[in-house]
Copies of this chain bind each other. A is one copy, B any other.
Amino acid sequence: MDMKEQSLRTLLERRGVLRGAAMLGAGATMMHPLPVLAASSQSAAIRKAAEAGKAASIQRIRDWIALPSIAAENLNMAEGAAFMAELARDAGFTNVEIVPTDGHPGVFGTIDVGAPRTLGIYFMYDVKQFDPAEWSSPPLEGRMVERPGFGRAIMGRGAVNQKGPEAAFLAALHAIRAARAKLPVNIVLVCEGEEEIGSPHFRQIATKPNILAALRKCEGIFIPFASQGKTGNVTVNLGSKGIIELELIASGEKWGRGPKKDVHSSLKAMVDSPAWRLVQALQTLVTKDGNTPAIEGWFENVRPLTEREKELIRAAARAGDEAAQKQALGITHWIDNLAYDDALIRLAQEPTVNIEGLVAGYTGPGGKTILPGRAVAKLDLRLVPNQTRAEAEKKLRAHLDKHGFTDVEMNVSGGYDPTEVAEDSRLVRSELATYKRLGVATSLNPRMAGSWPGATFTAPPVSIPAAHFGIGHGSGAHAPDEYYLIDSTNPRVAGLVDATMGFAEFLYTLAAIR
């Protein structure tokens, strides 16, 4: 859903103190010859093809940015799926199909080169809502802008989340084909258009019989990602929290008390208030400080972090820049004034109940003397292993009912279970090996606080490892001025061509690793 947040990555970014390659010397160029590719004697040809294809690759990103698909607004969904299918065909996928769901369609395609191993790739073709007034550059134009400390970047909605990294992956396939090299692995591509609303129908796509059969053959699956910040170092995540997004709605209509529509506020003295009803229901969900879920039985299946997981986080805290992260977030204290390592452990460990938005009655400037007939809280609830989305939905409903709020409606718009991926899976080992060969320092993060639909892959019936992979840089997911780096001036950070070559390197590594 949202694990690509720069704020999050900044927060988690740390030096490669735990694992991975030694840091590059200052001023070193990152992209020295790629060992596996070099060994395959095709490295130079593929890089040459990637360089030659760069302009087309940029244009691919720009054209894609110009077509925003926003599921929450039902905007360009059929068009976005058709465009996605065309991008897949163009990159060499065959049997490309648009996959209808009860919501918006997905896209599926394969490249079968008869290789022993198969890689799954997950794409999202949708983007988050945006308000052009907040942007310094028109969000659908994909203009080139300078980003100090990084270089020239393409700016637009979806640039980094997720069109830029996805297009860089496609560019790798184009380059391998243009270089007349043989793909070292088969590829299975599954795409959805509802990632930004919580992937409500993605399971329908992944479990369609022909798609399920294809996915089950994969060593694992990743979403193309721009994982580098200023230091160039990369965090490899071994899992992520789950999420439920929902609205809680109190209304006179359902309550049978209070008004069915807005009435004059003076009537409060004789008429019940759905807005107060919502406030009272909400405050039962968390402790008084608003920081810990108080929903009955919420922690029953929570698996505490292991000592190894905590140690990984403590090491990350030691290497991190707490002050810079606080400044970037505009905060002065972590919850309970925790020390940085304890705050990062809390970030990974704790399930949360967050208010995304509140809306009731009059919300414009000044006031308006009404008693609203309806009040809505938009919540997201982050889940940790071994909580499940189904369990959480059931427990939240039971909690509301037990506290007498049987009338408070709970409209779940989407969500995923938590995801975990084994450190010794071939997918994770290939990631670490590839980063090492690229000269990129890595560290392991036991669990991202963000969420993504990885559980669709890691849980039955698909049951394959799922992760993120990719070098390169971008920022501003879900925010104004989103961008993706094209021409890097930072020797530690990959631009578009190097990110493309990173994906190519991964394919050869996965094929070769034991």
Contacts and interface: CB of A to CB of B under 8 A. Distances in A.
Interface string A251-279: 01000111111011111111111011111
Contact of A367 (B197, B266, B291, B350): B197
A371 interface: yes
B270 A343 contact: yes
B272 A289 contact: yes
A380 B369 contact: yes
B332 A256 contact: yes
Interface string A346-390: 111111111111111111111111111101001010100000000
B347 A356 contact: no
A279 B355 contact: yes
A276 B287 CA distance: 10
A345 B446 CA distance: 62
A272 B252 contact: no
Interface in A438-462: 448-451
Contact of A267 (B252, B268, B449): B449
A333 interface: yes
A330 B367 contact: no
B355 A413 contact: no
B257 A332 contact: yes
Contacts of A343: 270
B358 A275 contact: yes
Contacts of A128: 368
Interface core residue of A247, A267, A360 (most chain B CB under 10 Å): A267
Contacts of A332: 256-257
B355 A358 contact: no
Contacts of A246: 367
A417 to B, nearest CB: 16
A478 interface: yes
Nearest to A288: B280
B363 A357 contact: yes
Interface stretch (A4-12, A167-175, A485-493): A4-12
A245 interface: yes
Interface core residue of A259, A286, A330 (most chain B CB under 10 Å): A330
B369 A1 contact: yes
Given A279-B279, A283-B283, A347 B267 contact: yes
Contacts of A360: 355, 357-359
A72 interface: yes
A198 interface: yes
B364 A264 contact: no
Contacts of A373: 330
Contacts of A363: 357-359, 363, 378
A338 interface: yes
A272 to B, nearest CB: 6
Given A277-B290, A357-B362, A361-B378, A267 B329 contact: yes
A157 B128 CA distance: 38
Nearest to A344: B270
Nearest to A370: B356
A264 B450 contact: yes
Nearest to A282: B279
A59 to B, nearest CB: 30
Contacts of A276: 286, 289-291, 355
Contact of A257 (B263, B331, B357): B331
A2 interface: yes
A335 B272 contact: yes
Given A290-B280, A361-B356, A367-B198, A382 B269 contact: yes
26 contacts: A2-B264, A2-B369, A5-B266, A11-B267, A71-B366, A252-B331, A257-B333, A259-B329, A259-B330, A263-B331, A265-B380, A266-B449, A266-B450, A267-B449, A268-B382, A270-B335, A270-B449, A271-B331, A271-B334, A272-B290, A272-B331, A276-B290, A278-B358, A283-B283, A356-B362, A363-B378
Given A8-B266, A271-B334, A283-B283, 11 more contacts: A5-B266, A261-B330, A269-B348, A269-B351, A270-B334, A270-B347, A272-B289, A275-B290, A330-B373, A356-B368, A369-B380
